[in-house]
């Protein structure tokens, strides 16, 4: 027993600490690939983190505070070699909705979201995310893409005093279009064009082959590096242009401005907030965040697990959803100690990580170290980054999230799924939580309608044969009973009924009662009902109920032969049950 016990303990420990599964086999080749991938992701995340802090309505340093803790936690707890945790566009948008652009609220939201995610991981509640259907997710991400993208138009054009509520934002942006700053608009558009060109180059660079000459391989490597780090290159270019104008004494751009220098202090999350007028208690802060305490952790989990599963399927390995819950939950809890706001898995940076050839989660150590170095030594340079350049980075990052093909796909596959998609998409412009909740409820109603009214195949003839195409649950029994009675008794002669239950895997007590009533109703009208193809759990339940007149046959031919006899020759409470005695004994046992 001891060796087996030790083996089980080792497997359980590896499940909780996935690093133990791959670290013993770590090699120098893996180290090289992880270093390159971590460097590539680091050069991507630094400008994105500064930009996403703007989306969240927080000072720029908070984006960097949120960008490194996930790298270190995922190194120990992550089950995907590709996923990178950090600030994302959608999570930043949610933070802006529920934290009122107040850093204390954002940090507390990270702590509470992490606690909720940890609890879900320990209780293995990841299956709850399965109730949020793909059309709801697509509707939410598409609405978020429009909201985030349009929210950066003001920075792209240099407009000021534009409200953040979406509909007011649209109105005031068009109202103030005449106040566009030419410098910001030109720089923003140039940055977008550069990002697009570099992305297209990245997508069309042919793979390097060992037989290529060294010079060709070197040029391929330089192009690959430049296109992968395109965000950092474009932001650096824009900052250099802004600094050049600053030296001349003329500044045509709106700049990021002062960024707090140095590493964030390690301290507990703020459980109260002191303002000029009063102190806001923890209870009041929780009440102010309201639905955000449910929406933020759930969306964070959805986004992260969706990214992990997508790349696991693409690269042929498996991820543990509940372990991912623990990893992201601990990241948010520990991140709140260094003033981070809620984070999740980033699709864009995970794609960079995978394309860079990452081998293990150790690549995150390089990314995290690069973010910490930038906080310690580069924050003074962030002053000169134009907001228009950061807006271009955000717009180009979120544009691929809008799935233009999903509408046509759903129209061809199942048009009814367009309903939760459209409901979610439209309501998310009003309030995110209402959009997700309404879309999920519509999806559940569609699901419940299918359960309550399962399709039934009907074969007409001297004997009426009905076959439910799916399971039989209590909301469906009354409709089935009415359909059977209507068809069997609609005209002389009254027909006997065969209920073909091949697709019915289980039934509940309400269904048993309904079938008993149906047997009695048909008997009073001089007809009969028999069952064919009962699975063992269903047969066990019906035998245990001891229904009057219950008859079961193995094949449809036997049932029809039995019913084509004169029903009056068979006693109603018949003891000649066609179920073999040995099967009855087995079921009762």
Q: pTM (2 decimals)?
A: 0.79
Q: What is the pLDDT of residue 164?
A: 78
d(CA 152, CA 150) in angstroms, rounded, equals 5
d(CA 45, CA 73) in angstroms, rounded, equals 17
pLDDT (tens digit per residue) in 314-323: 778 888 888 8
Determine what percent of the chain is predicted with pLDDT higher than 90: 39
- In degrees, rounded to 5, the angle at the alpha carbon of residue 427 between the alpha carbons of residues 424 and 431 is 115
d(CA 312, CA 282) in angstroms, rounded, equals 40
Q: What is the pLDDT of residue 588?
A: 52
Q: Tell me the pairing of strands 85-86 and 344-345.
A: antiparallel
Is residue 354's pLDDT more than 90?
Answer: no
Helix residue spans in 205-281 (DSSP H): 214-228, 230-248
Determine what percent of the chain is predicted with pLDDT higher than 70: 94
For the chain, state the CA radius of gyration.
31
- A 10 A CB-CB count for 55 gives 27
Q: What is the pLDDT of residue 8?
A: 52
Label residue 77 by pLDDT band (50, 70, 90). Answer: very high
**Given its phi and psi angles, is residue 549 left (phi above 0), alpha (psi -120 to 50 degrees) or beta?**
left
- Lowest-pLDDT choice from 2-11, 206-215, 344-353, 534-543: 2-11
- Lowest-pLDDT choice from 212-226, 229-243, 446-460, 528-542: 212-226
d(CA 397, CA 231) in angstroms, rounded, equals 10
Is residue 452's pLDDT more than 50?
Answer: yes
- Lowest-pLDDT choice from 70-74, 211-215, 282-286, 479-483: 211-215
d(CA 418, CA 136) in angstroms, rounded, equals 9
For 175, how many CA atoms within 13 A lie in the half-sphere containing its CB?
10
The better pLDDT of the pair 294, 10 is held by 294
Distance (Å) of CA 280 to CA 101, 273, 277, 285 = 15, 5, 10, 7
pLDDT (tens digit per residue) in 114-146: 999 999 988 888 787 778 888 888 888 888 889
**Given its phi and psi angles, is residue 331 left (phi above 0), alpha (psi -120 to 50 degrees) or beta?**
alpha
Is residue 186's pLDDT more than 60?
Answer: yes
Label residue 286 by pLDDT band (50, 70, 90). Answer: very high
- A 10 A CB-CB count for 583 gives 14
Is residue 546's pLDDT more than 70?
Answer: yes
CB 99 within 8 A of CB 273: no
Burial 426-457 (b: 16+ CB within 10 A, else e): ebbbeebbebbbbbbebbeebeeeeeeebebe
d(CA 62, CA 321) in angstroms, rounded, equals 28
Q: What is the pLDDT of residue 585?
A: 53
Does the bond joining 473 to the residue before it have cis omega, within 30 degrees of 0?
Answer: no
The better pLDDT of the pair 246, 221 is held by 246
Summary mean pLDDT of the chain: 87
* Residue 278 dihedral angles phi and psi, to the nearest 5°: -160, 180
Is residue 481's pLDDT more than 70?
Answer: yes
Is residue 469's pLDDT more than 70?
Answer: yes
8-state DSSP, 23 = G
Is residue 75's pLDDT more than 90?
Answer: yes
Is residue 575's pLDDT more than 60?
Answer: no
> Counting Cβ atoms within 10 Å, is residue 38 exposed (0-12), middle (13-18) or buried (19+)?
buried
Closest CA to 62 of 97, 98, 95: 95
The better pLDDT of the pair 435, 568 is held by 435
d(CA 307, CA 31) in angstroms, rounded, equals 24
Q: What is the pLDDT of residue 568?
A: 44
CB 560 within 8 A of CB 500: no
In 476-521 the beta strands, taken as DSSP E runs, fall at: 496-500
């Amino acid at each position: 027993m001891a060796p087996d016990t030790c083996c089980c303990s080792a497997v359980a420990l590896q499940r909780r600490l996935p690093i133990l599964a791959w670290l013993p086999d770590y090699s120098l080749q893996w180290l090289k690939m992880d270093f390159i991938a971590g460097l590539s992701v680091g050069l991507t995340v630094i400008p994105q983190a500064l930009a996403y802090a703007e989306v969240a309505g927080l000072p720029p340093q908070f984006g960097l505070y949120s960008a490194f803790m996930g790298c270190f936690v995922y190194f120990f707890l992550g089950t995907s070699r590709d996923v990178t945790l950090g600030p994302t566009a959608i999570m930043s948008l949610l933070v802006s909705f529920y934290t009122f652009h107040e850093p204390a609220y954002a940090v507390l939201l990270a702590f509470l979201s992490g606690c909720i995610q940890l609890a879900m991981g320990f209780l293995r509640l990841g299956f709850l995310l399965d109730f949020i259907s793909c059309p709801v997710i697509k509707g939410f991400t598409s609405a978020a893409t429009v909201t985030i993208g349009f929210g950066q138009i003001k920075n792209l054009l240099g407009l000021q005093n534009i409200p953040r509520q979406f509909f007011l934002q649209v109105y005031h942006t068009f109202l103030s279009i005449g106040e566009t700053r030419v410098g910001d608009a030109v720089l923003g558009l140039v940055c977008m064009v550069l990002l697009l060109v570099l992305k297209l180059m990245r997508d069309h660079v042919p793979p390097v082959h060992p037989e290529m000459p060294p010079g060709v391989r070197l040029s391929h490597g330089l192009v690959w590096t430049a296109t992968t780090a395109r965000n950092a290159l474009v932001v650096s270019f824009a900052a250099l242009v802004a600094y050049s104008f600053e030296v001349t004494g003329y500044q045509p751009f709106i700049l990021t401005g002062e960024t707090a220098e140095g590493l964030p202090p390690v301290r507990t999350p703020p459980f109260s907030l002191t303002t000029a007028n009063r102190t806001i208690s923890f209870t009041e802060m929780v009440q102010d965040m309201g639905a955000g305490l449910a929406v933020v952790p759930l969306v964070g989990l959805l986004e992260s697990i969706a990214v992990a599963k997508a790349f696991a399927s693409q690269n042929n390995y498996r991820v543990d959803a509940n372990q991912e819950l623990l990893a992201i939950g601990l990241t948010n809890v520990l991140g709140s100690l260094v003033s981070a706001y809620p984070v999740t898995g980033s699709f864009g940076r995970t794609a960079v990580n995978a394309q860079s050839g990452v081998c293990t989660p150790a690549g995150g150590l390089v990314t995290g170290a690069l973010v910490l170095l930038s906080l310690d030594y580069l924050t003074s340079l962030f002053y000169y980054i134009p907001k228009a350049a950061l807006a271009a980075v955000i717009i180009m990052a979120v544009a691929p999230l809008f799935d233009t093909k999903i509408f046509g796909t759903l129209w061809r596959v199942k048009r009814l799924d367009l309903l939760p998609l459209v409901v979610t998409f439209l309501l998310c412009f009003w309030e995110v939580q209402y959009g997700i909740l309404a879309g999920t409820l519509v999806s559940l109603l569609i699901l419940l309608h299918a359960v309550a009214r399962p399709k039934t195949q009907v074969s007409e003839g001297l004997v009426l044969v009905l076959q439910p195409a799916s399971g039989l649950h209590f909301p469906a029994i009354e409709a089935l009973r009415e359909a059977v009675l209507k068809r069997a008794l609609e005209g002389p002669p009254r027909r006997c009924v065969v209920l073909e239950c091949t697709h019915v895997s289980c039934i509940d007590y309400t269904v048993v009662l309904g079938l008993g009533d149906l047997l009695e109703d048909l008997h009073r009208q001089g007809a009969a009902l028999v069952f064919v193809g009962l699975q063992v759990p269903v047969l066990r339940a019906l035998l245990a109920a001891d229904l009057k007149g219950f008859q079961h046959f193995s094949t449809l031919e036997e049932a029809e032969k039995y019913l084509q006899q004169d029903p009056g020759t068979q006693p109603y409470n018949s003891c000649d049950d066609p179920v073999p005695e040995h099967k009855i004994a087995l079921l009762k046992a």
